[in-house]
Structure 1
């Protein structure tokens, strides 16, 4: 599973992996139930690799946040995204201590933790993602 092919679709729960692309639609597979669907151009789609979290220095790419979460949880699921906002914020502060808490809302933290848990359940190994990207840089 490639992180660069994982998308979020507005109005659809969960995350999707891009399977194929045509002129008018994207064919994607839900990571939770493996059902496929066609996403037309009218629907808003976000590539996870293009999302970043506000910090006090520079924006942190979502992949780096996921790597930090994976290191903290030792590759296992994080806390449930249904926990209280205080618990979610304290967990997120442990993972990314310099995040901008005025611009990163509780709903953003909840979504990031939910996405992380979905990706872990789908079998994504973030420790290997770091090695792959450094190998690609060397080529």
Structure 2
């Protein structure tokens, strides 16, 4: 996952994006993703939408593209500097969206959604660090290290478990009764 969007949310009635810091009884403590990083409390009345759970509609009615994948595509193509802004002309924004997701559903994805996508990407890319996805060679290199750390049969036989101790005591009590 290129950007970690697990704790980043859009909150209804509040402009911008926020990092969820800690839940409270009345809502959640949030921190703005701008330069101020101001903390406040979002009440339970506000609708909190995690960016990780948002997707973009495609022409295939049953398929969507997760926002994390959309951000990854944007970063691979443009980096952190986009050629469009939320105030760009509609045809430029549509062309931008068509480059990122060629088969996006033009009837269900509104221009306001594309503007919001651009705004969110700019906020996320300026605040969070991009983490390159792991390649197959990196995963193969880490696999043997994980196997070495796994417990062997010899180590599990040396240390009796609580269950075996309890069974021994139960066997001893039955031997005493006979």
State which drifts further: 76-85 or 104-113: 76-85
TM-score by length of 1: 0.87
1:76 maps to which residue? 80
Specify the SS of the correspondent of 1:4.
coil
How far has the Cα of 1:2 moved from its partner?
3.5
Aligned mates of 2:96, 2:22 — CA distance in 1: 36
What is the match of residue 24 of structure 1?
26
CA contact (8 A) 1:77 1:116 kept: no
Q: Does 1:122 align with 2:105?
A: no
Structure 2 spans left out of the alignment, 5+ residues: 147-178
Tell me which structure has the larger Cα radius of gyration. 2
Q: Distance in 2 between matches of 1:49 and 1:12?
A: 18
**Structure 1 residues not aligned, in runs of 5+:** none
Report what 1:5 is aligned to.
7
Superposition CA RMSD, Å: 2.2
CA apart distance, 1:22: 1.7
- Number of positions where the alignment pairs a residue of Structure 1 with one of Structure 2: 133
* Contact persistence 1:77–1:121 (CA under 8 A): no
Alignment match, 2:37: 34
For 1:54-99, what per-residue CA distance to the aligned partner results, in whole angstroms no more than 9, with x for missing partners?
00131111111111111110x2122211101110110110011010
